Structure 1
């Protein structure tokens, strides 16, 4: 007889889960948003997260990523000086006030993009790394590299996020990009926490980082703001408290003040409303599965590793948890064989499916025991309402 079975959780696992409860969903005012817990990979919030939207200066993160790759691969040197072209000199908005014909070190250009959001600095880097020496050529390379990295809703028309038809990114893509910057380039990431960079004393009006979170003492250490009339006010942000890091992207806010308030609220919500909890330890029996034709009637189900999940941190209500397997499971059963899944469904978060394995071997029953099992099944089938299938 074969049927889908939901086992009763062992008391130890159930108690852990009953100590947690659902958290209220964050009601963001952003047009689109994505919030990620980096360590566990848990998506805490997704609002139109895969919609391709104008990213404004937040797309400069892709230019920076490719510049970091070039330095790592020795295609650029930090002390190398690059020429400023007429095209780079033509940009307005946020700039380093570069002048055509001057030469600027790669290090200063990178800091100028990160801290000052320099459009001209982006173009200088882009032209140096472009296959054909043009910003348009570099933008095509950006799109290709983004696709390789899994950013499938990103298309670039320039290196800076200057308004252009078809220049778009999704909030999920921007968050993924921020995560890659943090994890792939720890030697460069501290630059994102710099609050001031005075490149030219004669042009000091643009020397402060626009990230409103850096001075709040909430663990914020990056990454990039953005604003155009079409995109509204946005931010790709990250904050670390203890051993947890939250990375998020928002866009479409009406004012810089609204962006600052929304960003701070998201960080506080993400850290206060969720916490890592150990659901079960490696080798601890989570549940018992029924055994058919075995030396024992049940077999313990265990996880091979400690299972620690990010779960709502508000007490008061249960989180759904169940063990699912197809059973009874016919003996013999080898120790360590995967038999079931522990499914945990926190309110407002993606469900977690954790494989469970046989805690011990179960040999097949002897001849007499097998005959008794078969007899019991046959007798059961003769009872009215029986639905088991041999």
Structure 2
């Protein structure tokens, strides 16, 4: 009996001891399994979110070269800066919410005011209660202190580099008294530039049902900034700006990875998706891209890289006529000379698909009469490729043509009358 009891006790002890070692191991295994399941669930959630935000590729609707890429965006384009011609595009004229790409017009108006002398870089701009940014995660800010003042040039950097809503509102109030007043300036400038699908309601791009622009219009604006704001365009390539002790980086990822990219602007709201306008120069050729409503910040950068890579690989710059070459001899009436040599008014570069040939044709103005000054437009030269006009350039008089004297002019009238 004692032996039986002792055996039972020994077995019980063994079971107890075993449980002390097995239980922690089993518990740890369960913890690990739970953690693994949670990780997989989180990864699946991320994939689901990425899938939900993904934008299907949109094929080119127009392209001047074969094999244009399909771009994952709601609208996109690739433009040749020199001519303003679209090299490839899709959905370019649909009015869409532009988000902070709006600030390209805000900065452009500031730049033109600086250029004309209406503003000075050192002018002080006040920060009102309306302009002040409280620093929430729903908007981008320069972090101008309430009731403070900042110089125009700092405000301009805050708009371009930091995409500051506060900077945009402050300069709008400074220049036009209110955001609404400044929006009128923006729309007037848009109309002047030929932005036919654009209507601005505010200087920031914060959502409003009436606030719209198109890919083509934004490319037109980018081209105007590059062409007309040369003194300030370098700001668009700045990677960071520090103000009020806060340093912020430019959100244009391509500025950090592609040394040929020198601007221009990012934008994002839930409604607009992720937007990006860039400009890049390689081997003397500048291209502009617009990507609207991409699925993520990474996607807008990747799709832009794809567009630029295809563009620079598929097109080249050609010089159809040398700048000093006499293109034509243009007839002039009532001058001391009967004709004037016509040359290009400026160097002429034409962007065409690689390997394509260019043909040129000259059109001269009829009925030209002396006096004619050097540099006066006397016609144009047209470049075509595969039967399509790809570029035009003005022809100008190479020299002055003085008006003939009274007797000579009388004789010229007689000969003209009889068709001689």
TM-score of the pair, normalised by structure 1:
0.69
Give SS of 1:163's match.
coil
The structure in which a higher percent of residues are helix is: 2
- Which of 156, 170, 181 lines up with 2:200 in the alignment? 156
**Structure 1's 311 and 118: CA in aligned 2 closer, same or farther, altered over 3 A?**
same
User: Once the 2 structures are TM-superposed, how far is the Cα of residue 284 of structure 1 from its aligned partner?
Assistant: 9.1
- Out of 85, 96, 100, the position equivalent to 1:42 is 85
8 Å CA contact 2:161–2:241 kept in 1: the answer is: yes
Deviation at 1:127, TM superposition (A): 0.3
Q: Between Structure 1 and Structure 2, how many residues are aligned?
A: 298
1:104 equivalent among 130, 135, 150 = 150
- Secondary structure (helix, strand or coil) at the match of 1:222 reads strand
Other-structure match for 1:61: 104
> Unaligned stretches of 5+ in structure 2?
1-63, 329-341, 362-377, 395-420
Matched, 1:260 2:301: yes
Residue 72 of structure 2 aligns with which residue? Answer: 29
Indicate conservation of the 8 Å contact 2:144/2:244, yes or no.
no
Q: How many Å apart are 1:157 and its aligned residue?
A: 0.7
Map residues 229-308 of structure 1 onto 2, 5 A cutoff.
229-278=270-319
Structure (1 or 2) with the larger CA radius of gyration: 2
Q: 2: distance between equivalents of 1:128 and 1:22?
A: 47
Q: Corresponding residue for 2:141?
A: 95
Pairing of 1:1-390 with structure 2 (within 5 A) = 22-90=65-133, 92=136, 93-130=139-176, 133-201=177-245, 203-204=246-247, 207-278=248-319, 309-313=350-354, 343-345=384-386
Deviation at 1:106, TM superposition (A): 0.9
Pick 1 or 2: higher relative contact order, CA cutoff 8 A, min separation 6. 1
Structure 1 residue 242, shift from structure 2 partner = 2.5
**Cα distance, 1:278–1:160 mapped onto 2, change above 3 Å:** same
The 3 A distance-change label for structure 1 pair 309 and 114 is same
What is the TM-score normalised by the length of structure 2? Answer: 0.64
- Residues 133 and 165 in structure 2, CA contact (< 8 A), matched pair in contact too: no
User: How far apart are the structure 1 equivalents of 2:391 and 2:129?
Assistant: 54
CA contact (8 A) 1:95 1:121 kept: yes
In the TM superposition, what whole-angstrom CA distance separates every residue of 1:82-139 from its partner, at most 9, and x where no partner exists?
1100001156510012222111111111101111000000000000111xx1111111
Residues 84 and 345 from structure 1, CA distance in 2 versus in 1: closer, same or farther, beyond 3 angstroms? same
Cα deviation digits, residues 49-83 of structure 1 (max 9, x gap): 11111000001010111111222222222112111
The RMSD of aligned alpha carbons is: 3.2
